[in-house]
Protein backbone atom coordinates (compact mmCIF):
# COMPACT_ATOMS: atom_id res chain seq x y z
CA UNK A 1 0.00 0.00 0.00
CA UNK A 2 1.19 3.51 -0.77
CA UNK A 3 0.04 5.57 2.20
CA UNK A 4 -0.64 4.87 5.87
CA UNK A 5 -1.42 7.58 8.42
CA UNK A 6 -1.87 6.93 12.14
CA UNK A 7 -2.69 9.33 14.99
CA UNK A 8 -2.53 8.18 18.62
CA UNK A 9 -3.57 9.97 21.78
CA UNK A 10 -4.24 9.33 25.45
CA UNK A 11 -5.75 11.34 28.28
CA UNK A 12 -5.69 10.70 32.01
CA UNK A 13 -8.95 11.78 33.57
CA UNK A 14 -8.34 14.41 36.28
CA UNK A 15 -9.89 12.44 39.14
CA UNK A 16 -7.09 10.75 41.04
CA UNK A 17 -6.89 9.31 44.54
CA UNK A 18 -10.32 10.64 45.51
CA UNK A 19 -11.55 9.60 48.97
CA UNK A 20 -14.63 7.55 49.73
CA UNK A 21 -16.60 5.03 47.74
CA UNK A 22 -17.36 7.40 44.88
CA UNK A 23 -13.71 8.41 44.76
CA UNK A 24 -12.66 4.78 44.54
CA UNK A 25 -14.95 4.34 41.55
CA UNK A 26 -14.01 7.46 39.58
CA UNK A 27 -10.27 7.62 40.33
CA UNK A 28 -7.40 6.56 38.08
CA UNK A 29 -9.16 6.23 34.72
CA UNK A 30 -7.61 7.05 31.36
CA UNK A 31 -8.80 7.12 27.77
CA UNK A 32 -6.75 6.36 24.67
CA UNK A 33 -7.53 6.26 20.97
CA UNK A 34 -5.82 5.50 17.71
CA UNK A 35 -7.10 6.57 14.28
CA UNK A 36 -5.68 5.00 11.14
CA UNK A 37 -6.16 5.56 7.43
CA UNK A 38 -4.54 3.33 4.83
CA UNK A 39 -4.69 3.08 1.10
CA UNK A 40 -6.20 -0.02 -0.37
CA UNK A 41 -4.00 -3.05 -0.96
CA UNK A 42 -3.14 -3.70 -4.63
CA UNK A 43 -3.78 -7.08 -6.24
CA UNK A 44 -3.27 -8.88 -9.52
CA UNK A 45 -5.51 -11.22 -11.55
CA UNK A 46 -3.71 -14.55 -11.89
CA UNK A 47 -4.39 -17.39 -14.30
CA UNK A 48 -6.24 -20.46 -13.10
CA UNK A 49 -5.30 -22.68 -16.04
CA UNK A 50 -2.34 -25.08 -16.03
CA UNK A 51 -1.84 -24.79 -12.27
CA UNK A 52 -1.45 -20.98 -12.45
CA UNK A 53 1.27 -21.44 -15.10
CA UNK A 54 -0.26 -19.90 -18.24
CA UNK A 55 3.01 -19.57 -20.15
CA UNK A 56 4.14 -23.12 -19.35
CA UNK A 57 7.57 -22.06 -18.11
CA UNK A 58 7.35 -24.23 -15.01
CA UNK A 59 6.82 -21.29 -12.66
CA UNK A 60 3.36 -20.44 -11.31
CA UNK A 61 1.70 -17.16 -10.31
CA UNK A 62 1.35 -16.05 -13.95
CA UNK A 63 -0.84 -13.04 -14.73
CA UNK A 64 -3.70 -13.33 -17.19
CA UNK A 65 -3.45 -11.19 -20.33
CA UNK A 66 -5.55 -8.05 -20.66
CA UNK A 67 -8.25 -7.98 -23.36
CA UNK A 68 -10.01 -4.77 -22.23
CA UNK A 69 -7.53 -2.19 -20.97
CA UNK A 70 -10.30 -0.01 -19.51
CA UNK A 71 -10.43 -2.25 -16.43
CA UNK A 72 -6.85 -1.43 -15.42
CA UNK A 73 -6.77 0.66 -12.26
CA UNK A 74 -10.16 -0.53 -11.03
CA UNK A 75 -10.70 0.05 -7.31
CA UNK A 76 -13.09 -2.20 -5.36
CA UNK A 77 -15.11 0.56 -3.72
CA UNK A 78 -18.19 0.09 -1.60
CA UNK A 79 -19.22 -3.20 -0.04
CA UNK A 80 -22.26 -5.50 -0.16
CA UNK A 81 -24.94 -4.41 2.32
CA UNK A 82 -27.72 -6.63 0.97
CA UNK A 83 -27.65 -9.97 -0.88
CA UNK A 84 -28.57 -8.13 -4.09
CA UNK A 85 -25.36 -6.08 -3.84
CA UNK A 86 -23.27 -9.21 -4.42
CA UNK A 87 -24.51 -9.27 -8.02
CA UNK A 88 -22.35 -6.25 -8.86
CA UNK A 89 -19.41 -7.17 -11.09
CA UNK A 90 -16.43 -4.90 -10.40
CA UNK A 91 -14.08 -6.62 -12.84
CA UNK A 92 -15.60 -8.57 -15.79
CA UNK A 93 -14.08 -11.93 -16.63
CA UNK A 94 -14.21 -11.04 -20.33
CA UNK A 95 -11.49 -8.42 -19.76
CA UNK A 96 -8.89 -11.20 -19.44
CA UNK A 97 -7.46 -14.08 -21.43
CA UNK A 98 -5.74 -16.91 -19.60
CA UNK A 99 -5.38 -19.30 -22.53
CA UNK A 100 -1.92 -20.39 -23.72
CA UNK A 101 -0.84 -19.69 -27.29
CA UNK A 102 -0.22 -22.69 -29.57
CA UNK A 103 -2.30 -24.86 -27.24
CA UNK A 104 -5.82 -26.25 -27.76
CA UNK A 105 -8.44 -23.61 -27.02
CA UNK A 106 -6.05 -20.64 -27.42
CA UNK A 107 -7.79 -17.35 -28.22
CA UNK A 108 -6.61 -14.10 -29.80
CA UNK A 109 -5.10 -12.55 -26.66
CA UNK A 110 -3.47 -15.71 -25.34
CA UNK A 111 -0.39 -15.78 -23.11
CA UNK A 112 2.61 -16.79 -25.23
CA UNK A 113 4.57 -19.89 -24.23
CA UNK A 114 7.51 -18.66 -22.15
CA UNK A 115 6.31 -15.07 -22.51
CA UNK A 116 5.09 -12.40 -20.13
CA UNK A 117 1.66 -10.96 -19.50
CA UNK A 118 0.12 -7.78 -20.88
CA UNK A 119 -1.35 -7.16 -17.43
CA UNK A 120 0.90 -4.96 -15.28
CA UNK A 121 1.50 -6.21 -11.74
CA UNK A 122 -0.81 -4.83 -9.00
CA UNK A 123 -3.16 -3.14 -11.48
CA UNK A 124 -6.19 -3.41 -9.19
CA UNK A 125 -6.77 -2.12 -5.70
CA UNK A 126 -9.12 -2.40 -2.75
CA UNK A 127 -10.63 0.83 -1.48
CA UNK A 128 -8.84 2.63 1.36
CA UNK A 129 -10.00 2.11 4.92
CA UNK A 130 -10.35 4.28 8.02
CA UNK A 131 -10.82 3.03 11.56
CA UNK A 132 -10.68 4.30 15.13
CA UNK A 133 -9.71 2.07 18.06
CA UNK A 134 -10.26 3.19 21.64
CA UNK A 135 -9.58 2.00 25.17
CA UNK A 136 -10.88 2.87 28.63
CA UNK A 137 -8.39 1.86 31.31
CA UNK A 138 -8.72 1.73 35.10
CA UNK A 139 -5.42 1.63 36.96
CA UNK A 140 -5.60 0.17 40.49
CA UNK A 141 -2.61 0.65 42.84
CA UNK A 142 -1.82 -2.52 44.80
CA UNK A 143 1.50 -2.97 46.64
CA UNK A 144 4.24 -0.33 46.48
CA UNK A 145 4.63 0.69 42.84
CA UNK A 146 2.72 -2.35 41.60
CA UNK A 147 -0.65 -1.89 39.98
CA UNK A 148 -3.38 -3.78 38.21
CA UNK A 149 -5.15 -2.57 35.09
CA UNK A 150 -8.61 -3.34 33.79
CA UNK A 151 -9.03 -2.49 30.12
CA UNK A 152 -12.08 -2.18 27.87
CA UNK A 153 -10.91 -1.95 24.27
CA UNK A 154 -13.08 -1.31 21.23
CA UNK A 155 -11.67 -1.88 17.75
CA UNK A 156 -13.21 -0.06 14.77
CA UNK A 157 -15.29 2.09 17.12
CA UNK A 158 -17.46 3.58 14.35
CA UNK A 159 -18.00 0.23 12.62
CA UNK A 160 -16.71 1.38 9.24
CA UNK A 161 -16.74 -1.32 6.57
CA UNK A 162 -14.92 -1.98 3.34
CA UNK A 163 -15.18 -4.64 0.67
CA UNK A 164 -13.87 -8.11 1.24
CA UNK A 165 -11.72 -9.99 -1.26
CA UNK A 166 -13.38 -10.22 -4.69
CA UNK A 167 -13.66 -13.60 -6.37
CA UNK A 168 -11.06 -13.67 -9.16
CA UNK A 169 -10.92 -17.37 -9.97
CA UNK A 170 -11.51 -18.28 -13.61
CA UNK A 171 -12.66 -21.67 -12.30
CA UNK A 172 -15.78 -19.90 -10.94
CA UNK A 173 -16.82 -17.73 -13.89
CA UNK A 174 -20.25 -16.81 -12.50
CA UNK A 175 -18.63 -15.31 -9.38
CA UNK A 176 -15.67 -13.63 -11.08
CA UNK A 177 -15.21 -9.97 -10.13
CA UNK A 178 -17.94 -10.05 -7.47
CA UNK A 179 -17.59 -9.28 -3.75
CA UNK A 180 -19.46 -11.48 -1.28
CA UNK A 181 -18.21 -10.22 2.09
CA UNK A 182 -17.00 -7.23 4.06
CA UNK A 183 -14.12 -6.43 6.37
CA UNK A 184 -13.95 -4.00 9.25
CA UNK A 185 -16.60 -5.14 11.71
CA UNK A 186 -16.50 -3.63 15.20
CA UNK A 187 -15.14 -5.83 17.98
CA UNK A 188 -14.30 -5.38 21.64
CA UNK A 189 -12.46 -7.10 24.44
CA UNK A 190 -11.95 -6.82 28.18
CA UNK A 191 -8.53 -7.50 29.60
CA UNK A 192 -6.68 -7.49 32.92
CA UNK A 193 -2.99 -6.65 33.28
CA UNK A 194 -0.69 -6.59 36.30
CA UNK A 195 2.49 -4.50 36.42
CA UNK A 196 5.19 -5.11 39.03
Residue 25 DSSP one-character state: H
Count of domains in the chain? 1
Contacts 24+ apart (CB under 8 A), 7-14: 7/34, 7/35, 7/36, 8/32, 8/33, 8/34, 9/33, 9/34
Task: Indicate the pTM of the whole model.
Answer: 0.74
Q: Supply the range of the domain harboring residue 81.
A: 4-195
Per the prediction, the chain carries an average pLDDT of 90
Could you report the per-residue pLDDT of 36-67, keeping only the tens digit for each? 999 888 999 999 888 889 999 988 889 999 99
Query: With bands split at pLDDT 50, 70 and 90, how would you rate the model's confidence at 78?
Result: confident
Cα gap 181→187, rounded to integer Å: 17
> Going along the chain, which residue ranges are E strands?
4-12, 29-38, 42-43, 65-66, 75-76, 96-97, 124-126, 129-141, 147-155, 162-163, 182-183, 187-195
Cα gap 38→43, rounded to integer Å: 15
Amino acid sequence: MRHVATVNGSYELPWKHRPGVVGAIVSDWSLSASAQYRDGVPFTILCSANGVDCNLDGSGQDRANIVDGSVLGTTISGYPQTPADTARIYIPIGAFDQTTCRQPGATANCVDVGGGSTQPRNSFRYAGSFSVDSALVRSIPTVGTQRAQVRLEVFNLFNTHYAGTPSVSFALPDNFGRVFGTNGNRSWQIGVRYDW
